[in-house]
Structure 1
């Protein structure tokens, strides 16, 4: 019997995929292609294209461009068959299977697999088999995920290494402390407790030539992430629950608690307008005409430079609409007015007493953080009992979750309140306040302003005939009546 002409030889596309390629060598898809080419030879099919996707999961729902191209070729009728190692290389979702069945019917395309044989999607029985294989494949994936979760939980409960890249400060596999890196972590933690910012620490580490695990330079986020890892203090955190690590700690637990409080205090202070800015009033001053926040600008008059606050008619950051553009004022007399007003108010024994009463202690914050971790652990245990261990009914789960979430919310609100009070702890309200202001840092002054003042409103200079701005402190033509200080306390 004479062979069919080449033009009548069925055209096939080979589709290969592996979910995880840790080495990046692509050996898995190469083996699949080899087996599929052998299948094509037995079926006397011509392979017109090979579509390979490395390190791509069919279960996760991540985009698979080569698979989409395969469906397009099937719908167009440009191929006669699809060759794959197994149906689970094509799809592990029943939704994807239905889309594949439709494409097969539309283009009259057959499917052949090395391991499961031919899949005839043109008949009800063939589609039933395909759906059964898809359901089995999905079960296998879900069962594998549950096994991995259970193994991870068991490892965490034993304090073992959960995998991933080598943690900075530890040897590979967390088998021991790497002392030269651990010393850097200890330094970071103590400097944050002493008041340094992550950004300042990053710049110092780079200047000294100290690099990250990957021999890269530091930035504030990298410093923060390395310093805040619970493993530094001997804690393995898994799904929000803390377990005792089986490796030694770099940071003692008491110092770790002080560090977490220092981090939160820095974050609380950064919520105040423009903390760590160039100007002491930056973010506090608002236009009395339109209510927009005013910006600091440099003004040159008769060869002399001075700083003013101005309502900008255009947004310099976005190019969009800004304020009315009709109010501007020299900033130095506003600062002096604010200074005098603060000192006058702080001379009130009642106000100082009220502010002192707001202060909170580090011990209170430590206790609250311990309760927060316990509440977070309880919330996660409820999830595990329902989703992982199947110990709760749906009704029991929903009731327990509502209770756990409410308890965690109450603790978080208490912590937020305590931290807002804790800002006052960094401000000494006793002694000579004028001297304290004179010698205080920019951050100290801004913390004090944020503690007492909500907004500083600058009103427009009157235009009526005869109005003349008075002298203020013998130095400025400035009307303090046009400044409205809105107090917090």
Structure 2
């Protein structure tokens, strides 16, 4: 009976995503298996996956080890030993399995290494050690090259970040830029990143390399707060600075102004700090805003038990719940309450907007002060380089200047965040009722909470009754 083997293929980088490299490896491994009369029962493919980086988990490699240990396959065929392992610990895990199952087969296209013999294992260990050193050397050279490119404001290659054109990563992609700006405005208006992520996933935005994969929350957050948006060059996740302490500017077109970018970053950071560990997801407009008219406990929306949730006729109610510490005696059909509150809030905000007139965008008043501090830092660094002051003197003077600079930058970010959030709130006065209910639920709640601190729902008595607006009491700010 032919021995059942698995083929393992891997390539570290596949920028195009076409998997041609692993396909060539598979063809060569299949020919070798045919020559040895082995039956290929499974191909384990790790495309665009490093075997050198310690924090990378190779899913197919782990599955292959598991199948080999369980006896589901009788051996492994790979193009080269370094496709399987570039870290000695990975090789030792494979050797351990061959110790447990000494009749297992092993072959590579480029070498004849037998992991079933002591000499073969020694040779394999030497080969992996050299492959590991080669990876270390390549990594060191690559890091030095990337640092040099970063200091020049150039990209390091790879796929174009979302927001820039694939064929010319220095040019902004108009469609992606529009999606990013709209999402940033939503963030400033109170919309959750999770809501934006869901919409982007449905529309195929934000992740051109993984259209079928579920986007991660942190991936969307990175897109919306990436320093590249304002032209800043980063290195290992930090904004790179030049010899004068100024951010290194990239060679690409910026997508945001510094004020816009800082406002979005500040809004996201503030939300994390204020609502850490709390779910921001809401399904009904007045959940957590409405309160019982009898016991004043917060009321939340829920689907009426008499209706099927998937029915077109399904209704929801705002119900005081004993489970949440309430009296359980007040409940009201939700839709007319939502409509009433939305009409009142929009009308109130239209009146306020008309009284205020067109808002004027102001510049942060301490911009000149920040520029002066940054100039002082640059002069200190230049003085140390020209030997006008010692390193010891520099380190005595520099930290205080840097703290002052960072405090001013934080104040500027908050200023523009508040200004742009106020501008987003001003726009609510121009919404129609239909446009209001088309907004994400978080945005609807932000508009309501800008005008109201609570909505008191009073009991209506027993039996069916016509909706009475007087029993819904908005508490204005």
TM-score scaled by length of structure 2: 0.51
For the residues of structure 2 that align with 1:428 and 1:144, how far apart are their CA atoms? 52
1:46 maps to which of 37, 48, 64: 37
Deviation at 1:50, TM superposition (A): 6.5
**Contact 1:94–1:131 (8 Å) recurs in 2:** yes
Q: Which residue of 1 aligns with 2:383?
A: none
2:233 maps to which of 236, 239, 243: 236
- Tell me, yes or no, if structure 1 residue 18 matches structure 2 residue 10: yes
For the residues of structure 1 that align with 2:72 and 2:177, how far apart are their CA atoms? 62
**Contact 1:274–1:283 (8 Å) recurs in 2:** no
**Contact 2:99–2:116 (8 Å) recurs in 1:** yes
Distance 1:47 1:26, change over 3 A: farther
Distance 1:414 1:244, change over 3 A: closer
Q: How does 1:198-237 map to 2 (within 5 A)?
A: 230-231=227-228, 233-237=230-234
Residue range with higher mean Cα deviation, 410-419 or 20-29? 410-419
Deviation at 1:17, TM superposition (A): 1.3
Q: Which residue of 2 aligns with 1:433?
A: none
**Contact 1:292–1:322 (8 Å) recurs in 2:** no
Deviation at 1:327, TM superposition (A): 1.6
Distance 1:262 1:363, change over 3 A: same
For the residues of structure 2 that align with 1:24 and 1:148, how far apart are their CA atoms? 24
Distance 1:227 1:71, change over 3 A: closer
**Contact 2:300–2:319 (8 Å) recurs in 1:** yes
**Contact 2:154–2:251 (8 Å) recurs in 1:** yes
Tell me the number of residue pairs that the alignment of Structure 1 and Structure 2 aligns: 364
Q: Which residue of 1 aligns with 2:250?
A: 245
**Contact 2:259–2:416 (8 Å) recurs in 1:** no
Deviation at 1:160, TM superposition (A): 1.7
For the residues of structure 2 that align with 1:275 and 1:368, how far apart are their CA atoms? 41
Deviation at 1:412, TM superposition (A): 9.7
**Contact 2:266–2:413 (8 Å) recurs in 1:** no
**Which structure is richer in relative contact order (CA contacts within 8 A, separation 6 or more)?**
2
Residue range with higher mean Cα deviation, 407-416 or 160-169? 407-416
Deviation at 1:241, TM superposition (A): 0.9
Q: Give the secondary structure class of the aligned counterpart of 1:111.
A: strand
Deviation at 1:186, TM superposition (A): 8.2
1:153 maps to which of 147, 156, 162: 147
**Contact 1:14–1:49 (8 Å) recurs in 2:** yes
Deviation at 1:244, TM superposition (A): 1.0
Instruction: Note the aligned Cα RMSD (angstroms).
Output: 6.5
Q: Give the secondary structure class of the aligned counterpart of 1:363.
A: coil
Deviation at 1:158, TM superposition (A): 1.4
Q: Which residue of 1 aligns with 2:63?
A: 68
Distance 1:460 1:47, change over 3 A: same
For the residues of structure 2 that align with 1:331 and 1:78, how far apart are their CA atoms? 64
Q: Which residue of 2 aligns with 1:133?
A: 127
Q: Give the secondary structure class of the aligned counterpart of 1:173.
A: coil
Deviation at 1:285, TM superposition (A): 1.8
Deviation at 1:63, TM superposition (A): 0.6
Gaps of 5+ in 2: 197-204, 212-216, 241-247, 305-314, 353-360, 375-399, 437-442, 463-467
Q: Give the secondary structure class of the aligned counterpart of 1:153.
A: helix
Gaps of 5+ in 1: 1-6, 203-210, 299-306, 315-319, 347-359, 374-402, 430-436, 464-474
**Contact 1:159–1:245 (8 Å) recurs in 2:** yes
Q: Which residue of 1 aligns with 2:78?
A: 84
Q: Give the secondary structure class of the aligned counterpart of 2:38.
A: strand
Q: How does 1:256-405 map to 2 (within 5 A)?
A: 256-260=257-261, 263=264, 283-287=288-292, 289=295, 291-295=297-301, 310-311=318-319, 313=321, 325-328=328-331, 362-363=363-364
Q: Which residue of 2 aligns with 1:466?
A: none
Deviation at 1:113, TM superposition (A): 3.7
**Contact 2:8–2:44 (8 Å) recurs in 1:** yes
Kindly provide the CA deviation profile for residues 359-410 of structure 1, in whole angstroms up to 9, marking residues without a partner as x: x97516979999xx9xxxxxxxxxxxxxxxxxxxxxxxxxxxxx9xx99998
**Contact 2:5–2:42 (8 Å) recurs in 1:** yes
For the residues of structure 2 that align with 1:115 and 1:297, how far apart are their CA atoms? 65
Deviation at 1:15, TM superposition (A): 3.0
Query: Which structure would you say has the larger Rg?
Result: 1
**Contact 1:166–1:173 (8 Å) recurs in 2:** no
For the residues of structure 1 that align with 2:316 and 2:100, how far apart are their CA atoms? 72
Q: How does 1:26-37 map to 2 (within 5 A)?
A: 26-31=20-25, 33-34=27-28, 37=31
For the residues of structure 2 that align with 1:233 and 1:49, how far apart are their CA atoms? 52
Residue range with higher mean Cα deviation, 262-271 or 323-332? 262-271
For the residues of structure 1 that align with 2:452 and 2:414, how far apart are their CA atoms? 18
**Contact 2:95–2:115 (8 Å) recurs in 1:** no
Distance 1:321 1:478, change over 3 A: closer
**Contact 1:258–1:362 (8 Å) recurs in 2:** no
Kindly provide the CA deviation profile for residues 415-462 of structure 1, in whole angstroms up to 9, marking residues without a partner as x: 897688658956999xxxxxxx99998899977874686545657699
For the residues of structure 2 that align with 1:478 and 1:77, how far apart are their CA atoms? 70
Kindly provide the CA deviation profile for residues 337-363 of structure 1, in whole angstroms up to 9, marking residues without a partner as x: x99xx99xx9xxxxxxxxxxxxx9751
